[in-house]
A and B are shown apart, each in its own frame.
Chain A
Amino acid sequence: MNKWHKMKRTDLQKFVSRLAEKWEVWVPYRADGKWEFGIYDAMKDLDFPESIIHVSLKSLFFPKRRPVAKYEEDSKWSLQAVVPEDRPRIVIGLHPCDVAGIEYMDKVFLKSEHKDAMYEAERERTMLIGMICSEMEDNCHCTDRGLAPDSTRGMDVAFVEADDHYLFKSMTDRGKQVMQSEYLKEVDEKPEKKEWPAGKYAIASPEEFMEMYDDKIWHELSDICLTCGICTYACPTCVCFLVTDEKFKGKGERVTVWDSCQLQSYSRMAGGHNTRKTPASRVRNRTLDKFAYSHLRYGQISCTGCGRCVMVCPLKRSFPQLGARLSERIEEKKKGKAKAGTRSKEA
């Protein structure tokens, strides 16, 4: 029976330094009050936030700018595919909502007729040592999205903060590789089970969202959105991209770069035709993509409840609020209909 293992807090840095001898290790670091994953540096103090890491780890698997091929500018055709990275890597300290984001990216890039070999290589080379959350922050609402802050699904190893120590447990065969450590001692102790509260952003069902396509509310919602697109960059499941060629000093690269459905240029075609010219049409597209289209495509909505879009929104009012407002409207409509139904019966 696989048991939890105890690690002294003071041993954590030693443990990670040992891992870094063999693996490329990524851990969260704080800069200007924000947590972001970076390559482990033995000279820097190691610490883990109790909850959300502000910058999602999407870019570790699907970088903002990603060369897929290289070419010599002075040739007519010399395009050569790049070789995907295969150095083994460990990411330590991601949370259950981060795993949910990765699971969604897997659906886009791997469960496809033409899978993305570069994404696959990043997944294959990476062991996930996930951290169970000890609290939910203000914008956290994974519990509204069918997830739990203490879920260990998809992690190779899970760990959690206990009183004066950490508890670690391997969840996969891959994870067992790091459990053979002088810093880990098998114990009978288990992480404390907690009751998690609901978030602030409960939403209607995907089917109900689909009914709202022609509703007037999109104009109301687009009035409170700048369609600046920052939410899409912060979102762990927004993986839309552009394919383009970039040249510098005679060397060229074909790259994928993150794109955003909130920007007008995203849907503009050669010749100027644009299928989503108005802010309302773009806000509708993203809201429905998050809460309905994703479900119809992949059986999973593409909001993990991480709340990062709210943190980065210049108006602090992003898609969770839009989704919640829309869901209110759905309720209002239902009640209206029920009422109308009653009246018509009476008449």
Chain B
Amino acid sequence: MTTIELVPKPATIKKVIEESRDVKSYVLQMNRAQKMAARPGQFVEVSVQGFGEATFAVTRTAKDKTDFTISVKRMGHLTKMLHRAAPGDVVGVRGPYGNSFPVDAWKGNGIVVIGGGIGLAPLRPVIDHILQHRTNFGKLEIIFGARTPDDILYKEDLRIWENDKSIALHTTIDVPFEGWSGRVGVVPVVVKDLAPRPDNKIAIVCGPPIMIKFTAAALRELKWPGNRVYTTLEMKMQCGIGQCGRCNIGEKFICKDGPVFSLDQIPEHAL
């Protein structure tokens, strides 16, 4: 029996988590007892039958690899349909695809995680990995920005990270908001204020395109070399396997050669 790579395998929604006003997370389990061993930074293609498929970062993998989580921001047709899905519903899954954050090569380094909105989703597995292998890494700093307090994701994780003495967590919102007493300011500005130093550190950045662009510029100003700053690029992938063509940056395909790149691997205009 030939396997057609573009045909997804069924997975059942085990749990739906309301993260924010327009983001829900879905814990998925492959139907035929397949495990899903996504490395931090890898992604999957998720289908709703009749509505096609879209790319989602795997934002958490169970320790025994029997289930995994994606976070879905309501944006277009497919995500609207996904937002209507409930536990027990079946979706299609292909993957995991793509390269991953080279966490093994980062041993001994401190990690600065910089996420904007839903951009925290592909970075969370790196945080999970660090927390599971805490002694392998130095200081963990997390800078997370959301548009408003209502857009803050992963509230339970944030509480845990907040209480973890080994983590410096900075949560910020873009503009002042009634009842918010925390930090205010867009991520690139907050990064400049906090001015993390690049020595023995790795920074990972993901968020909306404009946030990545200006955060990269802020880090460059702070003298971070390109090979110590990583991002995962949220460009329009479709097939996930380097064939449909649309996610290219020059000769590279984000889905196949990425989605994780260090800044020195991609031209500045691509950000």
Contacts and interface: CB of A to CB of B under 8 A. Distances in A.
Interface string B50-75: 11111000000000000000000001
A245 B5 CA distance: 16
A266 interface: yes
A240 interface: yes
Interface string B184-198: 000000000000000
Given A69-B4, A297-B251, A243 B239 contact: yes
B175 interface: no
B243 A109 contact: yes
A240 B245 contact: yes
Contacts of A45: none
Interface string A255-295: 01001010000111111010100000000010011001110
A266 B6 contact: no
Interface in A221-255: 239-245, 247, 252, 254
- The majority secondary structure among interface residues of chain B is loop
A84 B54 CA distance: 25
B47 interface: yes
Contact of A77 (B51, B78, B92, B209): B92
Contacts of B49: 71, 75-79, 245, 252
Contacts of B53: 243
Given A268-B236, A269-B235, A273-B209, A239 B245 contact: yes
A77 B9 CA distance: 10
Contacts of A83: 2
Contacts of A242: 238, 244
- The majority secondary structure among interface residues of chain A is mixed
Contacts of B241: 112-114
A147 interface: no
24 contacts: A68-B6, A71-B49, A73-B50, A79-B10, A81-B3, A108-B243, A112-B241, A114-B242, A116-B6, A118-B4, A241-B239, A241-B243, A241-B245, A243-B238, A245-B47, A245-B50, A252-B49, A254-B7, A269-B235, A271-B76, A273-B208, A285-B248, A288-B250, A294-B251
Interface of B: 2-8, 10, 47, 49-54, 75-76, 78-79, 89-92, 208-209, 234-236, 238-239, 241-246, 248, 250-251, 256, 267, 269
